[in-house]
Each structure stands twice: as structure tokens, then as C-alpha cells.
Amino acid sequence: MKINKISPQDSVYTKVLTHIAKPPKSLYFIGNLPKDRKPTVAIVGTRKPTAYGREVTETLANNLAKRGVVVVSGLALGVDAIAHNATLDAGGTTIAVLANALPAIQPSTNRNLGERIVREGGAIICEHSDDSAFGSWSFLERNRIVAGLADAIIITEAAQRSGTLNTAARALDQGKEVFVVPGNISSPMSAGCNQLLKQGARVATMAEDILEVIAPELLRGQEQRLALGNTPLETAVVQCLQSGIRDGDEIQTTVGCSATDLSVALTMLEVNGSIRALGANQWTLR
């Protein structure tokens, strides 16, 4: 893969980096940068997300990507990788920012994901041409670029001492909005998120929360339609999911149908893209 070198001001999309503290002198990338400056969010979080963290990350990334928002993250394990994958699954554009130099894609376990990002129209970016200056501090330096490329930062799940909080601090220094998904108060993996909310971060529970701030034009003129099924049973299933019921057995009891009929309805809704399986007979809306 060809490694391209540009200055931030050479691209309409990356020119925003010229306004951050300690702007990068050069950028190296493989793939394709957006030709225009599009609404962009950075989605970051823990490397060890819970099922809840995985779900909210997938949902937000997917729904934002469907509206044309570019999703930036750091290609790390956990939330970063989930955000990249969910964006690609939605047919969107995602950009990964590495702490190390290209052509190596780190961590190596995410190499296939990195190749998919490039193959499907996105880019992988780094700041340095070689790893001679690479160290633990490189990840903190990388965070300023992740935040700098974005119009807002979204933290979906983070522990009290998560490195993700450094990205939030960089975003605040840059005058960017920080959105946080609230979490269970008894979950250590949400302690960092809940602390940020106490300090005044914006609450994010749906894509519209972010779009209203960074790109209201993407909401203008669009009906906020509830998903419906093609049959009365499919519609009843969707309504259960909208009310917060996710367990298949509970859905069956609520709608009063046979297991076979429910299985058919769930399959058709999944095929049509209205719902998705979470595993263990749990379901959620897309």
C-alpha cells in the first residue's frame, strides 16, 4: 500500500489540525481522506468493553455513519475497533489514527480491520515516518490528532483511570464538545464516563444528541420515524424493543405468539435491517 505524505493544510479535511496546540508538521497515510470537510466524530473508550459498552458503541457509530458522519478512532482493541467496524458495516467512512509509523498496523490483531478500512474507502493516518521517536508517550500524542480531526468526541465506556480520559482532555483544550454515554453506577467500566458527566460533559444516548450540536442540517427535514414491521407481529416485536424489552422469551410472552412465529418475525426483521442480534437470545433495534 502506498504511503502518502502531506502537510495538514494540504487537505481540506485535515486543515482543521492546523488550529490545535502543537499541530503535526506532516501526516502520513494510506487509503483515501475525505475530499471535503464532513461532520466528524471521534469515538473512543476502554479496551475491555462490557456487553453494554459494545452495544452502545455499535449503535452510535452505525447510526452516525448512516447520516454521513465520518468516524475517527485509534484502531486500538475494544471500543476503537468496534466503532471502526460498526461504521464500515453501515457503509460509512472511518479513519484510524496510529501512534506508530506506517506501514505497520498496530496492534497486529487489528491488521485485518485496518486493511478493511482502507479497502472500503477510509484511511489510516500517523504523524511520523519512522518509529525512532516511538514510546508510551506516542499514544498520548496520538490522542490530540484523534480529537483534532473531530468536531466532537464521544466516550462510550471508560474506567476511572482510562487513557481515554486523556483524549477528552485534549478535546476540551481544543474547544471541542465532549459527549459521554452514561453507565451503570455500579460498573467500574463506566466510572470514568460518569465522572465526566459530573464535570459537565454532554449526555449522549442517541445519534441525534450529537447531530443536534455538530450537524443539525443532517436532521433538518427528516422525520424521526419509528421502525415498523411488514406484518402486525413484526410491528409488535419492534414495539417491544422500543419499550426496552430485549429478551426473546420476554418478547414472546409480551406479544403472545408461538416460538416458531417469533423466530420467523425476528429473522425477517434482521434481514430487513430493522433489528440485530446481541447473542444469547437478546435483540435490539438498529
pLDDT for residue 137 is more than 70: no
What is the identity of the amino acid at 211? L
Residue 170 φ then ψ, to 5°: -65, -40
Distance CA 3, CA 16 (A): 21
Enumerate residues 6+ apart whose C-beta is below 8 A from 10. Answer: none
pLDDT for residue 221 is more than 70: no
At 144-200, the pLDDT tens digits run 999 999 999 999 999 988 778 888 999 889 989 999 999 999 999 999 999 999 999
At 27 the three-state DSSP class reads strand
Distance CA 14, CA 12 (A): 6
Check residue 226 and give its pLDDT.
43
Enumerate residues 6+ apart whose C-beta is below 8 A from 285. Answer: 227, 238, 241, 242, 274, 275, 276
Distance CA 102, CA 2 (A): 10
**Domains of the chain, start order:** 4-218 (3.40.50.450), 232-285 (1.10.10.10)
Check residue 152 and give its pLDDT.
95
| Half-sphere exposure of residue 212: CA atoms within 13 angstroms, side-chain side | 10
Pairing of strands 4-6, 177-180: unpaired
Q: Residues 72, 27, 101, CA angle at the centre, nearest 5°?
A: 85
Residue 13 φ then ψ, to 5°: -70, -40
At 5-18, the pLDDT tens digits run 999 999 999 999 99
Residue 42 φ then ψ, to 5°: -105, 130
Pairing of strands 123-126, 27-31: antiparallel
Q: Are 65 and 71 in contact (CB under 8 A)?
A: yes
Check residue 275 and give its pLDDT.
86
Confirm whether pTM is higher than 0.85: no
**What is the average per-residue pLDDT within 74-80?**
96
Q: Are 164 and 187 in contact (CB under 8 A)?
A: no
What is the identity of the amino acid at 157? E
- Calculate helix-pair angle for 51-66, 207-214, nearest 10 degrees: 50
- CA of 227: how far to CAs of 211, 212, 267, 269, in Å? 20, 21, 15, 10
Check residue 225 and give its pLDDT.
43
At 159 the three-state DSSP class reads coil
pLDDT for residue 64 is more than 60: yes
Enumerate residues 6+ apart whose C-beta is below 8 A from 190. Answer: 52, 53, 157, 158, 159, 182, 183, 184
